[in-house]
Chain A
Amino acid sequence: MNRFEKVISRGKSIFDCKTKAEAARGLKSLRIHAGALFLLPGLIGFIIFYIWPFFISLGYAFWDKPVNGSFVGFKNFLDLFQNKAYLKGLGNTLRFIGISVPLNMALSLGVAMLINKLRRHKEPFSLVFLVPLVIPSGSMVSFWKSLFAYDGALNGLLRTFGIAKINWLDSSLALFVMVLIFIWKNLGYNMVLYLSGLSSIPKEYYEAASVDGAKPWQTFRHITLPHLASTSVLVLIMSIINSFKVFKEIYLITGSYPHDSIYTLQHFMNNMFSSLNYPRLTTATTILVVIIALFTQTLLRLERKASE
């Protein structure tokens, strides 16, 4: 009898136990740590709802049809990179991340530094920037719509200055509307991370710098920034993760087929869902998973280096 069979037979005998104490002894002889009993229910659920179906979907990515299909190797991947809608979505997503993430990082650092300088009212001010984070996207849709519509209030305001109407949501400017809404919603998140980073910088450093007559820019460049390196990597990771969430607003404001400049990866996948194109959908998921996994691993390693 190998060890595995032994464990199985002991496991069976636990169910025959008459008293609680006997069962407890039986469990001990199984050598199952109590910790495992706490861990396993959650882990099993996690495997059932995330890991297992992910491997099924990975399988679909290499087959031409979900049922009775034949193995096609990397054909689905090659096809996907020929697909115009996918390439557009991928390009737009990368462009959006490239613009919004650095901008959001800079602005949230700015706000965090201002709040950090305050002696009083720190809390109410950070509350203000946290509000957009908790407000559901659906409740702001009508405001954004009437602000940015072609006949909307913003164009009305511009007209009083004699500026011609701008088609905010239906031109390449839509990308900037998207960036604006993203920053409005996520600035508070980064601000909290930066505030906690700022508060961990020893005050003595700043005192020493001011004794030496350092200019504000020099203090920022040589004290604040280096100490925020590891926080910044963290903010970068979380910003990229959060940047995918802007889809909620964009979808609610502009629907399934928005202007070309804000047709993102998520729109593509959403529309694949409605046509239930499994091979294409799972291939797109696989690529996304691989990119995010590689990317975060690299950044996490960088973060560890930065915090040393």
Chain B
Amino acid sequence: MIKAKERIITFILFCIGLLFLLPLIVTLTNSFMAEAEIALNYTSELTTFDLVDGIVEKFQQIKLIPEQVGFWQYTQVLINQPSFLILLTNSLKITFPVVLGSLIVSLFTAYGFTIWEWKYKEIVFMVYIVVMLMPLQAVLVPNYIIADILHIKDSYLAIILPGIFSPFGVFLMRQSMKVIPPAYFEAARMDGANNWYIFWHIIMPQMKSSMAALIMLTFIEYWNLVEQAVIFIDDYAREPLSVYLSRIAEGRMGLVFAASCVYMFLPFWFLMLGQKDLEKGIELSGVK
């Protein structure tokens, strides 16, 4: 009875899960198709053969299995077309500094919030939370104004700097530092350890999982950058991949699946490595 029930639940979840993964599976299998097959599937234009066969209306077809498996798209994207790699480096140039910078800034700031008994501490932290909850659109205007003042509007810094000081990291790190029992660092302080020592040798070892979570969440956010790119970047050659992919989808359908697969590989790999950490990050990011 219990076993049967478990089987039914597994089956239901399997079906829903398959539906959820379908867009990914299609993108993956289609990335091994040759250009001609893609061109044939993703068009609704009628050919002479169709007319002879008496077909009057055609639709785009999403096929799961390629007729011939090949790496043609990948060699195009990764070797023959330098533009794709340039845009991939653009994405990296934005994401990497933000991930590293926000990790360092968030750890320091959160530690400050933890050890400093400041009168206005909680009020300041409340401001952090309010800004954190703002949708991107509300934050972009201030971001744009400050970029204008600092004359960095045309550089990646306009996107990177606000990312480094974003309140989310501070919030996440403080939440996870709260879990560390104060007795830990009280004891170290008794032994004459200074705050720097406590930070490196007592706090940091406990923060590994939360740091992994912050790295992943920040990476996902900036790897998937759309809004800022639309506003700050005018030059096509400096765009990140996200915006570019939606544009090549029109002209060069034959390449888009392999390009998409390369693009989603990194976040997917991170998820495989750190599913538990990501889940913990999501739990902690819930405001409490």
Contacts and interface: CB of A to CB of B under 8 A. Distances in A.
A180 to B, nearest CB: 11
B260 A142 contact: yes
Contacts of A53: 141-143, 145-146, 149
**Secondary structure class of chain B's binding surface, majority of residues:** helix
Contact of B264 (A36, A139, A155, A292): A139
B109 A146 contact: no
Given A34-B115, A131-B271, A139-B245, A41 B105 contact: yes
A273 B60 contact: no
Interface residues of A, number: 96
Contacts of B145: 53, 56-57
Interface string B11-23: 0110011001101
B275 A127 contact: yes
A123 B272 CA distance: 11
A94 interface: no
A43 B124 contact: yes
A159 B264 CA distance: 33
Interface in A257-308: 265-266, 269-270, 273, 281-282, 285, 288-289, 292-293, 296, 300, 303, 307
A51 interface: yes
Contact of A128 (B12, B21, B61, B138): B21
Interface in B51-108: 57-62, 105-106, 108
Contacts of B9: 114, 117-118
B137 A143 contact: no
A300 B5 CA distance: 38
Nearest to B223: A136
A42 B164 CA distance: 9
B117 interface: yes
B194 A34 contact: yes
A251 B14 CA distance: 31
B231 A130 contact: no
Contacts, number: 296
A135 B135 CA distance: 20
B108 A127 contact: no
Given A133-B220, A139-B27, A196-B283, A33 B271 contact: no
Interface residues of B, number: 100
Contact of B263 (A52, A139, A270): A139
A253 B165 contact: no
Interface stretch (A8-16, A168-176, A217-225, A233-241): A233-241
A54 B12 CA distance: 48
B133 A296 contact: yes
A139 B138 CA distance: 26
Nearest to A196: B283
A234 B20 CA distance: 24
Given A134-B220, A234-B287, A153 B267 contact: no
10 contacts: A34-B115, A35-B111, A40-B112, A142-B253, A144-B23, A146-B60, A151-B44, A151-B60, A187-B20, A244-B136
